[in-house]
Chains A and B, each alone.
Chain A
Amino acid sequence: MQYLYSNVNGCHVLDGKFKIVSTLEFKNFDDAMDALKSGEYTPEEKKALEDNPEIMLVNPKKDNVFRDGDKRLKIIANLEKKHAIAANKRITASDLSASVIIDHTVIQTVSALEEMDKIINGLTKRLREWYGPYFPELCEKITDHQKYVELSINALENGIDKLLKELGYEQTFGAEISEPAAQAILSYAKIIIGFYDEREVMKKNLEKIMKKHYPHIEKTAGYSIGARLIASAGSLRKIAIMPSSTIQLLGAEKALFRHLVSGSRVPKHGLIVNHTSIADKKRSERGKAARMLANKISIAARVDYYRVSK
């Protein structure tokens, strides 16, 4: 009785005592590894089977030698250490580079946007503290952060008189600003404006990616919520194989586990709460709306993931 066993080192023919008789090396290593991973025959195995139809193939999917624990263990003991290390590293390296897909860009963009919001907020608060004493009226009247930064740059460059009138004041009680202080504040404010611009660019990019690669999710959930759902789940594939009730509660994990542990109320919705079809509804109808939207997103995700042209 002969056995045919493939591992990372090649396709081996074993004799009745499970010792290697001969070895065929893989012609195309990467393809062979893909085939072995999914339980298909490699070209070398096919050839060996043609040459000797009697031979028993050791294959996790198709063979009964495989179920016999004793024999299987004797067979896999043939893996040679030295080659195994190099070959395995090679496979892992190619697996790693193949694991980076467009989802990665979406996830990182979502995280970057979140972090940027935090940073911009902190920087602008500091600007308000810094420039506030010189022009307190502006700080008091303009509550929108981005507008405040734009106007203070304007004031520093062109003087505050015109702005003061627009705000409805005759005179300011702010301190006189010296030239070096004005320069320092101006260059600081320009950095913040740069952040705001960059954030807009990132949002536009994200929208473009969502429209191109996830058109159905983009249409049902909107690009921002869709992207955050993908980020929360980890990948599009995960959303596509997820039950829609899980999609409904993505982002509400804390509330869900609190419910499971202590029996508090069940959360009705997670991230999708920001969608207009839910946010517009009355409180009592939000649960139903969330369930429906989650159903549609689930279908959209499946279409996006399994459609033929990628």
Chain B
Amino acid sequence: MQNVIIDKKRIWVKAVYDKNPDFDENVDKKMDGFYRSWDARRSKLAAAMLKGVEPKIDKGANILYLGASHGYTCSYVSDIIGKSGLIYAIDFAPRVVRDLWFLCEKRKNMIPIMGDASQPQTYFHRVGLCDFIFQDVAQKNQVDIFLKNLDMFVKPNGLGMLAIKSRSIDISRKPQAVFNECRNVIESKTKLIDYKLLSPYEKDHCIFYVQKTQ
């Protein structure tokens, strides 16, 4: 990916908007501009990239982001896709959408949407065609939610990524058993490109990187 530097255990993203940090992160000057440091313990996408997943997020891509929360990961994705791209950042909780709204004032390529990701028909009229979908919602039926949204908004052969938290699916079962079950469902509906556990950055989490089949 352009704009991203991965050196050993750290990851940097070139700041597109301005060099003021949004989340108190370090901003360093490197050869061609300012780079924001990306904490893998706060962002599952960063953790996945450090673990060796190579998501193909192009400049100018349209991205559907489910479970945007305060917008930490979103802000880095917004830097990666640049000013010509667009993120539809969806979250359910009013409190975090409030923070997201102010982040979107600065980052003009982000759209805050308050909606329930498990009911994509309620925000169908607000979202356009997307190239990439990232999901991090920690719900019991999160694989279902992911497949619904992938089917509804992502173009053929588009890419998707979902972070699974085994504890929110079933706390009494072994994480690996939960992951295997999710993997079977995902492989039956999409083409699995990569699958990684997110330890040591996150506990009992894994990430799936898939391509939509048509």
Contacts of B104 in A (CB 8 A): 89
Do B114 and A6 touch across chains, with their CB atoms under 8 A apart?
no
The total number of A-B Cβ pairs within 8 Å is: 81
Q: Closest CB of chain B to A45's CB: distance in Å?
A: 11
Q: Interface centre among A38, A84, A88, A261, by most B CB within 10 Å?
A: A88
Interface residues of B in 139-165 (CB under 8 A from A): 151-153, 155-156
Give the chain B neighbours of A243 by CB distance below 8 A: none
B30 within 8 A of A: no
Q: Given the complex of chains A and B, what is the CA–CA distance between A8 and B151 in angstroms?
A: 21
Q: Say yes or no for A142: interface residue by CB 8 A criterion.
A: no
Whether A73 contacts B156 in the complex (CB less than 8 A), given A7-B126, A96-B114, comes out as yes
Taken together as a complex, chains A and B put the C-alpha atoms of A184 and B125 apart, in Å, by 64
Q: Is residue A181 within 8 Å, beta carbon to beta carbon, of the partner chain?
A: no
Known A60-B121, A79-B129; contact A88-B155, beta-carbon cutoff 8 A: no
- Describe A's contact surface by its main secondary structure: helix
Q: Cβ of A96 and Cβ of B94 under 8 Å apart?
A: yes
A92 part of interface (Cβ distance < 8 Å): yes
- With beta carbons under 8 angstroms apart, the residue of B98, B112, B121, B128 that contacts A81 is B128
Give 1 or 0 for each of A19-38: 1 = CB within 8 Å of chain B CB. Answer: 00000000000000100111
Q: How far is the CB of A62 from chain B (nearest CB, A)?
A: 11
| Separation of A270 and B122 alpha carbons in the complex (Å) | 35
Let me know if B34 is at the binding interface, CB within 8 A: no
- Residue from B126, B153, B156 in contact with A8 in the complex, judged by beta carbons closer than 8 Å: B126
Nearest CB of A to B101, in Å: 6
When chains A and B are docked, how far (Å) is the Cα of A36 from the Cα of B152? Answer: 16
Give A99 to B98 CA distance when docked, in angstroms.
Answer: 11
Whether A96 contacts B98 in the complex (CB less than 8 A), given A7-B125, A60-B124, comes out as yes
- Cα A6 to Cα B125 with chains together (Å): 6
A261 interface neighbour in B86, B121, B128, B171, Cβ under 8 Å: B171
Given contacts A6-B125, A60-B124, A61-B121, contact A99 B94 (CB under 8 A): yes
> How big is the A interface, by class?
20 to 34
Minimum CB–CB distance from A298 to chain B (whole Å) comes to 22
The reply on A39 being an interface residue by CB < 8 A is yes
Find residues 46-73 in chain A having any chain B CB closer than 8 Å to their own CB: 60-61, 69-70, 72-73
List the A side residues contacting B214 at CB < 8 Å.
Answer: 69-70
Q: A69-B214, A73-B155, A76-B153 are in contact. Are A91 and B126 (CB under 8 A)?
A: yes
By a CB distance below 8 angstroms, the chain A residues around B126 are 7-8, 84, 87-88, 91
**Cα-based distance from A78 to B128 in the complex (angstroms):** 7
| In the bound complex, CA of A70 to CA of B151 (Å) | 10
How far does the alpha carbon of A89 sit from the alpha carbon of B124 in the complex, in Å?
Answer: 15
Q: In whole angstroms, how far apart are the Cα atoms of A38 and B113 in the complex?
A: 16
Known A69-B214, A89-B104, A96-B114; 14 more pairs at CB < 8 Å: A7-B125, A37-B125, A39-B121, A60-B121, A60-B124, A73-B155, A76-B129, A79-B127, A81-B128, A84-B128, A85-B108, A87-B126, A88-B113, A257-B171
Can you pick out 21 interface pairs between chain A and chain B where the beta carbons lie within 8 Å of each other? A33-B125, A39-B121, A60-B121, A61-B121, A69-B151, A69-B214, A72-B152, A73-B153, A73-B155, A76-B124, A79-B129, A81-B86, A84-B126, A85-B111, A87-B126, A89-B104, A89-B111, A91-B126, A95-B94, A96-B97, A96-B114
Q: Residues on B close to A: CB < 8 A?
A: 86, 88, 94, 97-98, 101, 104, 108, 111-114, 121-129, 151-153, 155-156, 171-172, 214
